[in-house]
Amino acid sequence: MRFQQLDFTSGNRVRLQAGARSGFFRFASILICGFSMMLMLSACSGITPRPTRVNSLPGRDYSIELPKATPGFASKEMVEAMAPKETFQYRMGPGDVISVKVWRRPELSLESMTVSPDGNIAVPRAGSINVTNATPAEVEKKITTKLELLYIQPEVTVWVKEFHNNKAFVLGRVARPGVINFPGNGTLLEGLALAGGVPDQGKMTRCSIIRGNDNVIWIDLQDLLRNGNMGLNAQIRNNDVIFIPENNDDLVYVMGEVRTPGAIKLNDGMNVLKAVMIAGGMNSNANPKKVFIVRQQQEKGDVIAVDLDNLISNADFSRNFNLLPNDIVYVSPTGMSKFNYAIEKMMPSLQVLSLGMSSGESLGVMQELRKKLWNQSGFVNGSTTTTTTTK
């Protein structure tokens, strides 16, 4: 370091001091703005969920064991409520193949006839008769009423040879999706069997039964097939839709300070720790004490905190909750990571501050500051330092 005595004329000294003061104020304002921006960036650099009170809604509770009922699964009572109350009677419709016999009247009998798309059949001497949603006994009465005008006490017998109006549509993850026909009172298990069964029962967890325009129930297939809960073997009515979605349709979302944030497939037994590990684990900026599950309940969801540090350090799995479809797992950043984030965003501003310090040297700001603080005079440039200490 070199020391050199500087000599200023009084005029130059006055101008230099004036410039030093104005330059000093500019430098101070830049410094204040820079630190203010740093504070704002550090405040905005991370999300901080607020844990809420977890509501005890049916099928949506936070539990440690794998929930037996996924949200929306129908209970045994709900399945029973959808079952028809009356005794099952087959009702004919388009596509059915029926036979009509009139005792001792072979000219009026028909061995086989198909119900037309509009639901009508043509019977000799009786004409066209609509059989839509009518039982065989009701069709017998209709034909008998018309034939009584021409014959004395005709004896009419009607039976169904091929059933095509007691059907259901089986869609989704089955071996043979399509239309199935029940010869009698169909059930969910019978429908799945007629559709070829479920290829991978271990991965299929649920199916829906859609009836009419606004009636839908979800059945827990694992409870029905593995546990033998026959109360969930719902009765199927004509034109019901049985839909088994892909298990891949269910996702959970991992966000925050993990290596590969994004959506992951929801598998059986998916819990918080497993989801974080599938997302690559926590990165160096993560705060393992503040991991949050965000779960949608109704219009507003619930947030619950999970201390992964305590879970791993003390093997305390009491809060390693199982995840449900569409859950969000958020790993919070540490306070230092927020500060580092602010520093990274402030780098252009720090360059401006460095430029301001260089300008302050050229304007005499730093000389004035050193004189007041350390009783030194002179200037500092990029390659050499030229100051003189006055006593």
pLDDT tens, residue by residue, 129-145: 999 999 999 999 999 99
The residue-averaged pLDDT of 303-313 equals 91
Record the tokens describing residue 178, joined without a space.
């399509």
pLDDT score at 69: 40
Which is it for the CA torsion 146, 152, 153, 154, positive or negative?
Answer: negative
Residue 374 predicted with pLDDT over 90:
no
Task: Give the pLDDT confidence of 114-126 residue by residue, as tens digits.
Answer: 999 999 999 999 9
Has residue 261 got a pLDDT over 60? yes
What pLDDT digit, counting tens, does each position of 72-91 carry? 688 889 898 888 878 888 99
Res 338: pLDDT: 60
Could you tell me which of 215, 217, 214, 197 has the C-alpha nearest to residue 206? 217
Over 60: is that where the pLDDT of 49 sits? yes
pLDDT tier at 48, thresholds 50, 70, 90: low
**Residue reference for tokens 């019978």:** 190
Lowest mean pLDDT among 136-145, 153-162, 177-186: 177-186
Region 200-204: mean pLDDT is 66
> Mean pLDDT across the stretch 336-345?
58
Distance between CA atoms of residues 328 and 317, nearest Å: 19
Query: What's the average model confidence in pLDDT over 353-366?
Result: 53
Tokens of 24: 């000093």
Q: What share of the chain is helix, strand, coil (3-state, %, to 5)?
A: 35, 25, 40
- 379 pLDDT tier (thresholds 50, 70, 90): low
State the pLDDT at residue 138: 96
Residue 256 parent element (H or E): strand 251-256
- CA angle centred on 56, ends 52 and 61, rounded to 5°: 85
Render 330-377 in DSSP notation, one character per residue: EEEEPHHHHHHHHHHHHHHHHHHHHHHHHHHHHHTHHHHHHHHHH-EE
Give residue 62's pLDDT band: very low, low, confident or very high (50, 70, 90).
low
Say how far apart CA 244 and CA 168 lie, in whole Å.
Answer: 13
Distant-in-sequence, close-in-space partners of 119: CB < 8 Å, separation ≥ 6: 93, 94, 130, 131, 132
Q: How many CB atoms lie within 10 A of CB 201?
A: 13
Please report, rounded to a whole number, the percentage of residues in the chain having pLDDT higher than 70. 64
Find the helix or strand (DSSP H, E) in which 191 lies.
Answer: helix 188-194
Q: Tell me: pLDDT of 94 over 80.
A: yes
Element (H, E) at 127: strand 127-130
> Two tokens at 89?
């009677």
Mean pLDDT of 212-239: 89
Section 159-173 average pLDDT: 92
Mean pLDDT of 357-370: 56
Q: What is the pTM of this model?
A: 0.51
- How far is residue 325 CA from its own chain's centroid? 5
CB distance 348 to 7 below 8 Å: no
Query: Do β-strands 328-333 and 376-380 pair in parallel, antiparallel, or remain unpaired?
Result: unpaired
User: Which range (272-281, 296-305, 321-330) has the least confidence?
Assistant: 296-305
Helix 10-44 to helix 335-363 angle (10° resolution) is 170
**Which helix (H) or strand (E) covers residue 273, if one does?**
helix 272-278
Please report the pLDDT score of residue 66 as a whole number: 41
